Amino acid sequence: MSKKNILMIACAIFIMTMSTILFLVGEEDLKVENDEIKTSVLNTTDSQKILSEEEYRKLLNNYEDEFIIVNTDRTFRFLSPNLLKIHGYSPEEITKLNVLTFIHPKDLPSFSNMLMEFHKELKVMNNLGPIRVKTRTGEFINYLITLIPFADKEGERTGTGVILKNIDKPLGDTEEKA
């Protein structure tokens, strides 16, 4: 047999194999899900209304860490209740404040650079920091943050999901040492 015939047979076998896999498995099972992209899209109606903590957690694909939802003008749309408690603020007073007022002054330059990079395109940025975030008492808590863009169907940014992982607490031994 000639090389041309062998190539044709190999291509035919490949096409038959792929179509058989597609038929047996189904097109839905072959899709590769990208949770980062999936979480960044909000319906137009959802982009303007305040959702429940459970709805936001589902969008962020995060059920463990504390999080905030920030509007495009850098005001708070939502804070997880536990985060409000940790930082000592009420939901009413926090929604009137700008996010940048909570960042430690020495972290502002690098945080601003991260935000500029984040706003260049709609993509998730994971484990940035550490960033020190101020509590009501004036103390700071160290967090690693993940920024998740929210956009409408037209691709316009409507807000940002921010997942905060507290790194002040040790991961291993949780017992108090004397």
**Which pLDDT score is estimated for 139?**
94
Place of tokens 């969008």: 59
* pLDDT at res. 49: 64
Q: Does residue 140 surpass a pLDDT of 80?
A: yes
- Cβ atoms of residues 116 and 162 within 8 Å: no
Please answer whether residues 151 and 157 qualify as being in contact, where contact means their C-beta atoms are separated by less than 8 angstroms. yes
Examine the pLDDT at 149 and tell me if it is beyond 50.
yes
The yes-or-no verdict on residue 96 having pLDDT over 60 is yes
b/e sequence 145-171, b meaning 16+ C-beta within 10 Å: bbbbbbebeeeeebbbbbbbbeeeeee
The predicted structure's pLDDT at residue 168? 86
Strand duo 66-70 + 140-151: pairing: unpaired
User: What is the domain partition of the chain in residue ranges?
Assistant: 1-31, 35-166
Q: Does residue 173 surpass a pLDDT of 50?
A: yes
Do residues 102 and 84 lie in contact, with contact meaning Cβ atoms separated by under 8 Å?
A: no
Higher pLDDT, 14 or 6: 6
Q: Which residue has the higher pLDDT, 3 or 104?
A: 104
Closest CA to 145 of 121, 170, 175, 111: 111
Query: For residues 172 and 94, which has the higher predicted lDDT (pLDDT)?
Result: 94
Residues 61-75 pLDDT 10s? 666 778 898 999 999
Lowest mean pLDDT among 56-70, 82-96, 132-146: 56-70
- Pairing status of strand 76-79 against strand 66-70: antiparallel
pTM: 0.67
CATH fold group of domain 35-166: Beta-Lactamase (3.30.450)
pLDDT surpasses 80 at 111:
yes
